[in-house]
Amino acid sequence: MTYLDHAATTPMLPEAVAAVTAEMSALGNASSLHTVGRRARRVVEESREIIAEAFDARPSEVVFTSGGTEADNLAVKGGFWARRAADPARTRVLAGSVEHHAVMDAVQWLGDHEGARIEWIPSDGLGRITPAALREAIGPDASDIALITVMWANNEVGTVQPVAELAAIAREHGVPFHTDAVQAAGQLPVRFGASGAQALTISGHKLGGPLGAGALLLAKPKPPLSLDPVPLLHGGGQERDVRSGTLDTPSIAGFAAAVQATAGHREEEARRLAALRDALIDAVRAAVPDAILNGDPGERLPGNAHFSFPGCEGDSLLMLLDARGIACSTGSACSAGVSQPSHVLLAMGADPERARGSLRFTLGHTSTEADVKALADAIGPVVERARRAGLT
């Protein structure tokens, strides 16, 4: 199998496998006060310190969750409820129009069920949320805005957002800023403290850790930029009373091991992936000259290449490539199987036909030149066959 879908999930790193395996054979609830429980707590707290150091955060700012989706929902829903409780006038939520569904659907739910007034910040043709677009969305009066959320890097087209600039604008207006950094955390120098954001989402399985582990980096409340979310889950009060539930010590240990391993050679790996990505882009363009590269050609994730293929259906291309042993995606893995054009491409100005005829190729730590060659050999004949099928 040629695996070109690392944005969906990337294979676990050996360090993470070893950490998870070691903890699964150990005993202890990290909330227990006896010796066994304290041992598990030590593993959790050491993991918290590793993750905090890697992402320029304080250990007390790391709130463990079951993954990126829960962290996004905690920041968006919990943040909205907290801000509205403090000031009932704050009912407006600004969100990027190209967000992952974990943010987009959480925001929409607030509009449908909690009376939030939603404004989608428009994207440009490269998938960017520009500072000018954010300023226009904020308007002359920010006193009714509960929070602003814009992702660090897009999960479909790979465009990297100017997060620090956007967070600075939010700060000017006294509005908390959340960013979903799930796709960025494994490949870019994501620094929570330097970003200016009040909340940031990361997920373990996107950077070589286990499924089911993630975190919300949550800055200590500092009015007027406080974002102290109302909990989604109630129970034992673990994780600063923000997220209750017995801590999954094995997954947290594996998450931290992956973060530590990734941080140790991130720049070198980013350069390697960018070179492979550029070779992949050149190969696709050589085989299919009218293929359209989507996203920002410069400011994009090192491992992302996203194309539209005129005259083709993305689902057909995916299945034809899969039959040749090549795994890729038509977009977000979370919306796979849903036959509708990508909301990301539509927000970028693409027509529905182009949006449906797109594929995402994403690279990761196991990717090699052989993977690029396999796609280079297959993509031309596959596109030709898909176009012939579309004419019948």
Q: Is the peptide bond before 189 cis (omega within 30 degrees of 0)?
A: no
Residue 207: count of CB within 10 angstroms of its CB: 27
* CA dihedral (318, 306, 101, 216) positive or negative: positive
CA distance 228 to 385: 54
Tell me, what's the pLDDT at 225?
82
Domain annotation for the chain: domains and CATH numbers: 2-9+266-391 (3.90.1150.10), 14-263 (3.40.640.10)
Tell me, what's the pLDDT at 220?
86
Is there a contact between 14 and 260 (Cβ–Cβ < 8 Å)? no
Tell me, what's the pLDDT at 332?
54
pLDDT-flagged residues of the chain (< 70): 332-339, 391-392
Amino acid found at 56: D
Tell me, what's the pLDDT at 302?
98
Model confidence, pTM? 0.95
Tell me, what's the pLDDT at 61?
97
Residue 46 Cα to chain centre, angstroms? 24
Tell me, what's the pLDDT at 10?
98
Give CA separation, 117 vs 104, 146, 251, 365, in Å: 13, 10, 37, 41
* CA dihedral (131, 137, 140, 145) positive or negative: negative
Give catalytic residues, as residue numbers.
334
CA distance 75 to 354: 33
Element of type H or E holding 342: none
In a 13 Å sphere around the CA of 67, the CA atoms on its Cβ side amount to 11
Is there a contact between 121 and 107 (Cβ–Cβ < 8 Å)? no
Question: Rounded to 5 degrees, what angle do the CA atoms 75, 79, 84 make?
Answer: 165
CA distance 203 to 244: 18
CA distance 239 to 218: 11
End-to-end CA distance of the chain: give it in Å, rounded.
Answer: 30
DSSP secondary structure letters along 231-253:
PSS-SS-TTTTTS-S---HHHHH
Tell me, what's the pLDDT at 368?
98
Tell me, what's the pLDDT at 334?
52
Dihedral angle at the C-alpha atoms of 173, 177, 183, 189, nearest 10 degrees? 70
